[in-house]
């Protein structure tokens, strides 16, 4: 499932609900909000009653905020074992969560690991150890609504940690690369990390963490899932990179097609190809495609050639066929 996190001040209910609703529109499936203080915890009641998707409260440092979030009716909690360390506090949260059937994600972050007395451990090993310690504590309280995440900025560390925990515990894993950066590099980093894990069969929920509006995170998450054929979600645009053989402005046409496809939510594969070398093959393979030639282009639909159109009509003719699929 695709998860994101709001970037508004949680105490500002109106802005937070607005952002969540925008994410619901693009099929975000779980939303997490930061709960930095008691006022934010109180806001959870109103946020929860105005949204449709499950709401997860992100808690650091203060276990009392977790208790308040449970009371507010959240659907899940994220606790950081790096900063809520004391067993008696975790126990209080687990008992309250058990009573209300609220799942708890043990969210380990490489940047905030609990202290260790074993200096020989790698970062990945320390992350796994931190998660296991809290898992064992929750299990000792007969609490098994557990989810685990082990996020780092470093992709090999993240993969190593998840592979290790996946062998050791049966719980669902929330995966992601933390603090992945601005969209251009962050999407690549997240795709390599999340994609590798998914390909290994690891991961139940995903979040792409980007220094960007959360909408970008959700779009990137679906693109990762689509590229591994794990989900069909909205349109897929196939477009050639263009080269010296291109006989039309493929970049412009592809950008225009992409903008139009954003308004369509059914799964459809559309190809924009720049010439007649690879163009007809890919265009034929898509639900709808265009192979551009000099001044004219051929439109294919479900493998069949349906029209030859003038260059000025490429976009409208292609989108007319897309609408008809
Ligand atoms: S489809 Fe044609 S124009 Fe596009 S990259 Fe391939 S050879 Fe070049």
CA distance 51 to 68: 19
CB-CB contact of 240 with 250 (8 Å): yes
pLDDT tens series, the chain, 325 aa: 999 999 999 999 999 999 999 999 999 999 999 999 999 999 999 999 999 999 999 998 899 999 999 999 999 999 987 787 788 898 999 999 999 999 999 999 998 888 888 888 999 999 999 999 999 999 999 999 999 999 999 999 999 999 999 999 999 999 999 987 899 999 999 999 999 999 999 999 999 999 999 999 999 999 999 999 998 888 999 999 999 988 899 999 999 999 999 888 888 999 999 987 777 777 777 999 999 988 999 999 988 889 999 999 999 999 999 988 7
* Radius of gyration for the chain, computed over Cα atoms and rounded to the nearest angstrom: 23
**pLDDT score, position 13:** 98
Ligand 1 geometric centre to CA of 245 (Å): 6
Task: Write out residues with Cβ below 6 Å of ligand 1.
Answer: 240-243, 245-246, 273-275, 277-279
Atom of ligand 1 nearest to the CA of 279: 1
Q: Which two tokens stand for residue 69?
A: 């979030």
Ligand 1 geometric centre to CA of 244 (Å): 8
**pLDDT score, position 80:** 86
Ligand 1 geometric centre to CA of 320 (Å): 24
**pLDDT score, position 207:** 97
Q: Residue 121: exposed, middle, or buried by beta-carbon count in 10 A (0-12, 13-18, 19+)? A: middle
In whole angstroms, how far apart are CA 315 and each of 109, 256, 309?
46, 8, 10
**pLDDT score, position 221:** 97
Ligand 1 geometric centre to CA of 283 (Å): 12
Ligand 1 geometric centre to CA of 290 (Å): 12
pTM of the model: 0.89
CB-CB contact of 185 with 216 (8 Å): no
CA distance 219 to 196: 18
Q: Residue 128: exposed, middle, or buried by beta-carbon count in 10 A (0-12, 13-18, 19+)? A: buried
Among protein residues, the one with the nearest Cα to ligand 1's atom 5 is 242
Residue by residue, what is the 3-state secondary structure of the chain?
CEEEECCCCCCCHHHHHHHHHHHHHCCCCEEEEECCCHHHHHHHHHHHHCCCCCEEEEECCCHHHHHHHHHHCCCEEEECCCCCCCHHHHHHHHHHHHHHCCCEEEEEEHHHCCCCCCCCCCHHHHHHHHHHHHHHHHHHCCCCCEEEEEECCCHHHHHHHHHHHHHHCCCCEEECCCCCCCHHHHHHHHHHHHHHHHHCCCCCEECCCCCCCHHHHHHHHHHHHHHCCCCCCCEEEEECCCCCCCCCCHHHHHHHHHHHHCCCCCCEEEEEECCCCCHHHHHHHCCEEEEECCCEEEEEECCEEEEEEEHHHHHHHHHHHHHCC
Atom of ligand 1 nearest to the CA of 247: 3
């Amino acid at each position: 499932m695709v998860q994101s996190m709001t970037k508004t001040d949680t105490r500002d209910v109106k802005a937070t609900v607005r952002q969540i609703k925008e994410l619901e529109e693009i099929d975000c499936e779980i939303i997490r909000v930061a709960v930095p203080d008691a006022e934010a915890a109180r806001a959870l009641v109103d946020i929860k009653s105005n949204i449709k998707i499950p709401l997860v409260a992100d808690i650091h440092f203060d276990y009392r905020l977790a208790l308040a979030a449970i009371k507010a009716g959240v659907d899940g909690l994220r606790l950081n074992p790096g900063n809520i360390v004391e067993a008696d506090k975790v126990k209080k949260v687990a008992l309250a969560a058990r009573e209300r059937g609220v799942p708890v994600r043990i969210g380990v972050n490489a940047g905030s690991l609990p202290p260790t007395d074993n200096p020989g451990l790698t970062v990945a090993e320390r992350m796994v150890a931190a998660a296991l310690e809290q898992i064992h504590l929750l299990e000792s309280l007969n609490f098994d609504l557990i989810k685990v995440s082990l996020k780092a900025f470093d992709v090999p560390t993240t993969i190593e940690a998840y592979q290790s925990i996946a062998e050791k515990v049966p719980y669902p894993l929330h995966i992601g690369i933390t603090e992945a950066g601005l969209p251009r590099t962050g999407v690549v980093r997240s795709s390599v990390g999340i994609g590798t894990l998914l390909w290994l069969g690891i991961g139940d929920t995903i979040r792409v963490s980007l220094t960007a509006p959360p909408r970008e995170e959700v779009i990137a998450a679906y693109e990762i899932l689509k590229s591994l054929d794990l989900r069909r979600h909205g349109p897929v645009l196939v477009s050639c990179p263009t080269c010296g053989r291109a006989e039309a402005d493929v970049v412009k046409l592809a950008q225009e097609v992409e903008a139009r496809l954003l308004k369509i939510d059914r799964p459809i594969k559309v190809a924009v190809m720049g010439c007649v070398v690879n163009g007809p093959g890919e265009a034929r393979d898509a639900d709808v495609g265009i192979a551009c030639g000099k001044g004219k282009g051929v439109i294919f639909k479900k493998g069949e050639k349906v029209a030859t159109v003038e260059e000025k009509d490429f976009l409208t003719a292609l989108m007319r066929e897309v609408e008809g699929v």
